[in-house]
Amino acid sequence: MTDFLAELYVWTKSLHVMSVLAWMAGLFYLPRLFVYHVEGLNKQGVERDSDMDLLFRHQERLLLKAIMAPAMVSSWLFGLMLVLTPGIVDWESIWAWTKAASIIGMTWFHFWCAKKRVDLAEGRNALTGRQFRMMNEVPTIFMIVIVLSVIVKF
Protein backbone atom coordinates (compact mmCIF):
# COMPACT_ATOMS: atom_id res chain seq x y z
CA MET A 1 0.00 0.00 0.00
CA THR A 2 2.75 2.46 0.90
CA ASP A 3 4.55 1.87 -2.43
CA PHE A 4 1.29 2.63 -4.21
CA LEU A 5 0.91 5.87 -2.21
CA ALA A 6 4.51 6.85 -3.00
CA GLU A 7 3.80 6.42 -6.72
CA LEU A 8 0.69 8.60 -6.43
CA TYR A 9 2.38 11.28 -4.29
CA VAL A 10 2.31 14.18 -6.77
CA TRP A 11 -1.32 13.44 -7.69
CA THR A 12 -2.37 13.09 -4.08
CA LYS A 13 -0.59 16.30 -3.14
CA SER A 14 -2.19 18.16 -6.08
CA LEU A 15 -5.68 16.93 -5.19
CA HIS A 16 -5.07 17.80 -1.55
CA VAL A 17 -4.05 21.38 -2.42
CA MET A 18 -7.10 21.84 -4.68
CA SER A 19 -9.41 20.46 -1.99
CA VAL A 20 -7.93 22.71 0.68
CA LEU A 21 -8.28 25.77 -1.58
CA ALA A 22 -11.98 25.05 -2.13
CA TRP A 23 -12.54 24.38 1.58
CA MET A 24 -10.72 27.54 2.64
CA ALA A 25 -12.67 29.64 0.13
CA GLY A 26 -15.88 28.43 1.75
CA LEU A 27 -14.55 28.96 5.28
CA PHE A 28 -13.70 32.55 4.35
CA TYR A 29 -16.98 33.27 2.55
CA LEU A 30 -19.64 31.61 4.71
CA PRO A 31 -19.10 33.81 7.80
CA ARG A 32 -19.16 36.84 5.47
CA LEU A 33 -22.55 35.67 4.16
CA PHE A 34 -23.66 35.43 7.79
CA VAL A 35 -22.63 39.08 8.31
CA TYR A 36 -24.67 40.21 5.32
CA HIS A 37 -27.58 37.99 6.35
CA VAL A 38 -27.73 39.26 9.95
CA GLU A 39 -27.20 42.91 9.02
CA GLY A 40 -29.72 42.66 6.18
CA LEU A 41 -32.36 41.27 8.52
CA ASN A 42 -31.65 44.01 11.05
CA LYS A 43 -32.45 46.71 8.51
CA GLN A 44 -35.80 48.35 8.98
CA GLY A 45 -38.55 46.60 7.08
CA VAL A 46 -36.69 43.36 6.36
CA GLU A 47 -38.36 40.37 7.96
CA ARG A 48 -37.61 36.73 8.44
CA ASP A 49 -38.80 34.62 5.49
CA SER A 50 -38.57 37.65 3.21
CA ASP A 51 -37.09 37.13 -0.25
CA MET A 52 -33.74 38.40 1.00
CA ASP A 53 -33.75 36.06 4.02
CA LEU A 54 -34.66 33.09 1.84
CA LEU A 55 -31.94 33.99 -0.67
CA PHE A 56 -29.27 34.13 2.05
CA ARG A 57 -30.45 30.85 3.56
CA HIS A 58 -30.30 29.23 0.12
CA GLN A 59 -26.79 30.55 -0.60
CA GLU A 60 -25.50 29.51 2.83
CA ARG A 61 -26.93 26.01 2.50
CA LEU A 62 -25.54 25.48 -1.00
CA LEU A 63 -22.10 26.79 -0.07
CA LEU A 64 -21.92 24.51 2.95
CA LYS A 65 -23.45 21.37 1.43
CA ALA A 66 -22.28 21.53 -2.20
CA ILE A 67 -18.81 23.05 -1.83
CA MET A 68 -17.49 23.13 1.71
CA ALA A 69 -18.52 19.67 2.92
CA PRO A 70 -17.15 17.77 -0.11
CA ALA A 71 -13.99 19.92 -0.03
CA MET A 72 -13.48 19.18 3.67
CA VAL A 73 -13.94 15.44 3.15
CA SER A 74 -11.56 15.36 0.19
CA SER A 75 -9.02 17.52 2.07
CA TRP A 76 -9.06 15.01 4.91
CA LEU A 77 -8.95 12.02 2.54
CA PHE A 78 -6.00 13.26 0.48
CA GLY A 79 -4.30 14.62 3.60
CA LEU A 80 -4.50 11.23 5.29
CA MET A 81 -3.16 9.63 2.15
CA LEU A 82 -0.19 12.01 2.34
CA VAL A 83 0.31 11.17 6.02
CA LEU A 84 0.43 7.47 5.11
CA THR A 85 2.93 8.06 2.28
CA PRO A 86 6.39 7.05 3.50
CA GLY A 87 8.82 9.88 4.21
CA ILE A 88 6.31 12.73 4.00
CA VAL A 89 5.50 13.43 7.66
CA ASP A 90 8.06 13.41 10.46
CA TRP A 91 5.96 13.03 13.62
CA GLU A 92 9.02 13.81 15.74
CA SER A 93 8.96 17.37 14.40
CA ILE A 94 6.77 20.07 15.91
CA TRP A 95 5.42 21.22 12.52
CA ALA A 96 3.43 18.01 12.01
CA TRP A 97 1.66 18.49 15.34
CA THR A 98 0.95 22.21 14.85
CA LYS A 99 -0.50 21.44 11.43
CA ALA A 100 -2.59 18.57 12.81
CA ALA A 101 -3.92 20.74 15.65
CA SER A 102 -4.79 23.52 13.18
CA ILE A 103 -6.60 21.09 10.88
CA ILE A 104 -8.67 19.87 13.82
CA GLY A 105 -9.37 23.52 14.67
CA MET A 106 -10.43 24.24 11.09
CA THR A 107 -12.70 21.23 11.14
CA TRP A 108 -14.25 22.47 14.39
CA PHE A 109 -14.78 25.89 12.75
CA HIS A 110 -16.46 24.20 9.76
CA PHE A 111 -18.95 22.48 12.07
CA TRP A 112 -19.42 25.70 14.07
CA CYS A 113 -20.36 27.44 10.80
CA ALA A 114 -22.76 24.60 9.98
CA LYS A 115 -24.43 25.06 13.38
CA LYS A 116 -24.70 28.83 12.88
CA ARG A 117 -26.27 28.26 9.45
CA VAL A 118 -28.99 26.14 11.07
CA ASP A 119 -29.47 28.75 13.80
CA LEU A 120 -29.93 31.48 11.17
CA ALA A 121 -32.29 29.32 9.11
CA GLU A 122 -34.44 28.56 12.14
CA GLY A 123 -34.46 32.11 13.49
CA ARG A 124 -32.33 31.31 16.57
CA ASN A 125 -29.26 33.37 15.74
CA ALA A 126 -27.83 35.21 18.74
CA LEU A 127 -24.72 36.71 17.09
CA THR A 128 -24.29 40.16 15.59
CA GLY A 129 -22.68 41.06 12.29
CA ARG A 130 -19.63 42.28 14.22
CA GLN A 131 -19.29 38.93 16.00
CA PHE A 132 -19.48 37.09 12.68
CA ARG A 133 -16.83 39.47 11.30
CA MET A 134 -14.55 38.55 14.18
CA MET A 135 -15.16 34.82 13.62
CA ASN A 136 -14.35 35.37 9.94
CA GLU A 137 -10.69 35.79 11.02
CA VAL A 138 -10.47 32.31 12.59
CA PRO A 139 -9.71 30.41 9.35
CA THR A 140 -7.01 32.97 8.53
CA ILE A 141 -5.21 32.18 11.77
CA PHE A 142 -5.40 28.44 11.09
CA MET A 143 -4.19 28.99 7.51
CA ILE A 144 -1.17 30.98 8.69
CA VAL A 145 -0.18 28.28 11.19
CA ILE A 146 -0.65 25.49 8.62
CA VAL A 147 1.33 27.20 5.86
CA LEU A 148 4.18 28.16 8.18
CA SER A 149 4.19 24.65 9.65
CA VAL A 150 4.43 22.96 6.25
CA ILE A 151 6.77 25.39 4.50
CA VAL A 152 9.09 26.52 7.32
CA LYS A 153 8.77 23.20 9.21
CA PHE A 154 9.45 24.77 12.59
Question: What confidence tens digit (pLDDT) does each residue in 17-73 have?
Answer: 999 999 999 999 999 999 999 998 777 666 777 888 899 999 999 999 999 999 999
pLDDT score recorded for residue 46: 67
Spatial distance between the Cα atoms of 28 and 16, rounded to a whole number of angstroms: 18
Burial code (b: 16+ CB inside 10 Å, e: under 16) for 58-74 equals eebeebbeebbeebbeb
Total structural domains within the chain: 1
Query: Whole-model pTM above 0.95?
Result: no
2 confidence band (pLDDT: 50, 70, 90)? low
User: With 70 as the cut, is the pLDDT of residue 79 above it?
Assistant: yes
Spatial distance between the Cα atoms of 83 and 103, rounded to a whole number of angstroms: 13
Spatial distance between the Cα atoms of 104 and 102, rounded to a whole number of angstroms: 5
User: With 70 as the cut, is the pLDDT of residue 117 above it?
Assistant: yes
pLDDT score recorded for residue 42: 75
Is 52 or 108 the better-scoring residue by pLDDT?
Answer: 108
Parent domain of 143:
2-152
